[in-house]
Amino acid sequence: MILLHRRHFRHCPPDGRIVALVISESCRRRGIGAHFIEASESVFREWGCGRIEVSSGAAREAAHKFYLRAGYSEQPKRFIKLL
């Protein structure tokens, strides 16, 4: 499963965001995740997005390696305030 979102801005192209990417453990390492990433990048291009963001929990090292292999770069600072 992959869930995509587009965030619009007035001053620049929209951002694409991969909100969720879930591959069942029994189906991993078969290229399904890479296929989802390629398909999502195509959708984001069609939507006119200028960049793609995806976040992954700090302990998910295998997922981090997957995203790095797919050409994503790590930008670790993120600050959140609960309301």
pLDDT tens-digit map of 11-31: 999 999 999 999 999 999 999
Domain membership of residue 82 (yes or no) is no
Domain with 16 in it: 2-69
φ, ψ at 61 (rounded to 5°): -60, -40
Q: In 3-state terms, what secondary structure has residue 18?
A: strand
Residue 76 has pLDDT above 80, yes or no: no
pLDDT tens-digit map of 36-73: 999 999 999 999 999 999 988 889 999 999 999 999 99
Kindly report the CATH number assigned to the domain that includes residue 24: 3.40.630.30
Domain membership of residue 78 (yes or no) is no
Domain membership of residue 83 (yes or no) is no
Q: Are the C-beta atoms of 64 and 74 separated by less than 8 Å?
A: yes
Domain membership of residue 74 (yes or no) is no
Q: Positive or negative CA dihedral for 23, 20, 74, 81?
A: negative
For residue 58, the model assigns a pLDDT of 85
Bridge partners, residue 52, by sequence: 16
Rounded distance between C-alpha atoms, residue 28 and residue 8, angstroms? 33
The domain tally of the chain equals: 1
Domain membership of residue 29 (yes or no) is yes
